[in-house]
Structure 1
């Protein structure tokens, strides 16, 4: 409500650009109509547009179709991706582009395959596309099938978010069972709920994962990393600042991605 009130105030004051920066788009996962429920992702878009926003900036939206909830004649939706930010971090810390044969990039399941295929094409690193076998009575995964050879490789699991941690944990365990040397998690949004932190603590304790690299789309206490040694947080500030500057100068946002591609 504070965001909507702020946008309305800017509109009434005659501001030319009224940009809503929402790294984690709230209600992003409520993007499909369910029986006797409203389409909350659309409702949020209506609130933002009605309040007078001219631009919305968000990072790794759960469903790219959310852009269609905004009328582009009123409010321009700018969906950014943190992939290059993550790749730059892993290249600086692990040298993933210097020894590509030592690494693999993995999805959590087939739902995240497009992200991993894009990364594989961009970097030349081997993609891993796990298949989740579900028990359709309980809707819980029975097993994870991995066909690629990951023995002795350092595997980075990419996803848009970590919520309960259950799916990522199952995939990490399956990769370890297949002989992966080290496993890292890379996710844009640390939207931890339920037992997620405890699950990640257990994965680290048992030597299954090394680190979980996340962005600052969510805030944590200053001592969180000290208490949870798997936790690494990188900042979105530069990407967001450059995007805002480009929009307000009426320059294409795509230039930011071109610059990031060259810097990897």
Structure 2
């Protein structure tokens, strides 16, 4: 863990949030404010400028729209000489705007344009601009096959050309996308510790020993994620291979013909399915059904981003039928109230982790300590296992 108490920040910290990420930004802001107040009170001589501690670091900004759908970014206070962090949730379709009298849900394209408008509004006044896109814009369009757009790389290059020095994201679909902007900062963080912490809290008493527990990757692309969990927990892992019909394209993707399981016996075990996102959820629920047919005892699904693009009915039915036991996603994107209220769902709070990331980068400290969560996980697992021994 990096020690920021003895380093001077690169510049005064300010946080600018787009409307779609406002509730999360407010949580992050409170964490940073509380942390810095404690540091300043404990070691007042370590800080070289006033304003290190503020009650709030949030910047007053907005992106008003005309009835034609056009918009402009406005920053209502000075950001001169600051280390500015701009936070955006490009998936929040619950926000709407008026277009010729019709209410429209905001698309990822709309959010990304608003992000660029606010960067443009900075007018070169900030000392450094950092952009936090937890769900990377066009992250699934990260490589080119034949004649098609390379949207994610183009977007990252656009941000850099506008003066952005650091891009921070979580669980990128393919971390190699950072090669699109090799001369600027790009950090890809993972939420493994927060997910395991949530699992052990909600399923208190669950056995995480090799004979009782197994980690599953729903596809080949997420295998490295499952390997990490498997190694740190000391349990077996399995994965599914998606056989697709590449002669057909439905909704921009090739339909899955079958899920082929590669792994050991799951009978009687609790299985932890780990993925980067839930879109429609069709694929992960088919995987869960396959595992239940193979006599898995409990099935837990975790995904950093819960989009639920076709609603929650399929998950409600799977829970009712006993196929799944719990679903975990983070608050790195907007989570609707109707999902939070479902008994099988747990929203994993990552606000404290994000506040630590911002605070560390603002101090120009290495993020290696907070990026590598292995030590924290091992400590938490040891404490959990010791507690479980005491209850036997």
Quote how far apart the aligned CAs of 1:96 are. Answer: 5.6
Normalising by structure 1, we get a TM-score of 0.89
- Choose which of 77, 82, 87 in structure 1 pairs with 2:191: 82
Match of 2:337 in 1: 222
Unaligned runs of 5+ in 1: none
* CA–CA separation in structure 1 for the residues paired with 2:141 and 2:246: 22
Match of 1:211 in 2: 326
Kindly tell me the number of residue pairs found equivalent between the two proteins: 259
- Choose which of 214, 225, 228 in structure 2 pairs with 1:115: 225
Unaligned runs of 5+ in 2: 1-112, 249-254, 381-392
Match of 2:277 in 1: 161
Structure number with higher helix proportion: 1
Q: Is the 8 A contact 1:45 1:70 kept in 2?
A: yes
- Deviation readout 1:174-198 (Å, 9 max, x if unpaired): 11011100101000011222x3522
SS at match of 1:23: coil
Change (3 A) 1:155 1:259: closer
Q: Is the 8 A contact 2:285 2:318 kept in 1?
A: yes
1:244-255 residue pairs with structure 2 within 5 A? 244-255=358-369
* CA–CA separation in structure 1 for the residues paired with 2:285 and 2:206: 23
- Choose which of 355, 360, 379 in structure 2 pairs with 1:241: 355
Match of 2:152 in 1: 41
- Deviation readout 1:88-136 (Å, 9 max, x if unpaired): 2112333567645321110102222221111111111221223334455
Q: Is the 8 A contact 1:97 1:123 kept in 2?
A: no
Match of 2:164 in 1: 53
- 1:187 and 2:187 aligned: no
Q: Is the 8 A contact 1:144 1:170 kept in 2?
A: no
Two-structure CA RMSD over aligned residues (Å): 2.1
1:122-133 residue pairs with structure 2 within 5 A? 122-133=232-243
Quote how far apart the aligned CAs of 1:146 are. Answer: 4.5
- Larger CA Rg, structure 1 vs 2: 2
Worse-matched range after superposition: 93-102 or 172-181 = 93-102
Match of 2:51 in 1: none
SS at match of 2:337: coil
Q: Is the 8 A contact 2:190 2:371 kept in 1?
A: no
Worse-matched range after superposition: 126-135 or 169-178 = 126-135
* CA–CA separation in structure 1 for the residues paired with 2:274 and 2:154: 29
* CA–CA separation in structure 1 for the residues paired with 2:130 and 2:187: 10
Q: Is the 8 A contact 1:163 1:196 kept in 2?
A: no
* CA–CA separation in structure 1 for the residues paired with 2:228 and 2:324: 23
Match of 2:268 in 1: 152
RCO higher in 1 or 2 (8 Å CA, sep ≥ 6)?
2
- Deviation readout 1:213-250 (Å, 9 max, x if unpaired): 00112213334322x33222112211111111111111
SS at match of 2:211: helix
* CA–CA separation in structure 2 for the residues paired with 1:244 and 1:11: 22
SS at match of 2:313: helix
- Choose which of 152, 163, 181 in structure 2 pairs with 1:70: 181
Q: Is the 8 A contact 1:17 1:248 kept in 2?
A: no
Q: Is the 8 A contact 1:146 1:174 kept in 2?
A: no
